[in-house]
Structure 1
Amino acid sequence: MYLKVHRIPGAGEVVAACDSELLDVTLMHGDVEVCITREFYGTERVAEEDVRRALAGADNVNIIGKRVVALAEAMGLVNEEDCIMIGDVPHAQIFRI
C-alpha cells in the first residue's frame, strides 16, 4: 500500500492511502475520471501496520482499493455501503467531526 499524510495548518491532517497496484492508474466510471497520483497517495510503499496506525488517528481519510478499504472496514471505520465504486474499485472518504 501507499500512504501519505497531508498536514494542513489550522485544519489538521488528511490521510491518503491506496492499494499498491493502483498508484499511477486512472480509473474511469462513466464520465468520471479518477487519477491515483503519487502527489496525493505518496511515493513509498508502507506496511499494512503503518496504514492501520495512520487510519486509527486520522480526522480525515481518503482511501481507494480493495485491500485498504477492507482494512478500514475491519477497523470499524467504514462500511461497504459507505463506499463509492469506481468500476470494481472501492473508494471511501471518512470525516470525523
Structure 2
Amino acid sequence: MILTERETPKGLLVSVCDRDVLGETFENGEVSITVTEEFYGGEEAGEERVATTLARASVGNLVGERSVSLAIDRGHVEEANVLDIDGVPHAQFLRM
C-alpha cells in the first residue's frame, strides 16, 4: 500500500491506496475518482504501519481493495459506507 501523511491545522490527513490503482481514474455514472500521485503518492507501507497511522488520523481517504479492507478490519470504516467506483472500493472517514 502507498501511504501519505499530512499534518493540517485540523489534524492528521491520511491517504492510502493500493499500488495498482495509483495514477488510475475510475468512474461510475456521475461519480469519478482519480488516484493522483499528488494526493495519494507517498511511500510503500505494510499493514501494521498503515493501521497505526489510520488510528491516529483525523481524516482518511482510501482507495483499493487491500487498503479499504484493512480500514474495515481495523474498525475505521464501516463496510456499508464503502463506495464501489468502477469495481474499485473507495472510503473516507472523518473523526471529530
TM-score (norm 2): 0.91
RMSD (CA atoms): 1.2
**Cα offsets for 1:63-86 (capped at 9, x unmatched):** 111111110111111121111110
Q: Which runs of 5+ in 2 are unaligned?
A: none
Structure 1 stretches of 4+ with a deviation exceeding 4 A read none
Q: Which runs of 5+ in 1 are unaligned?
A: none
1:51 aligns to what? 50
Percent sequence identity over aligned pairs: 40
**Cα offsets for 1:26-46 (capped at 9, x unmatched):** 112123331101111123322
1:93 aligns to what? 92
1:36 aligns to what? 35
Q: Does the 8 Å contact 2:10/2:58 carry over to 1?
A: no
TM-score (norm 1): 0.90
| Count, aligned residues | 96
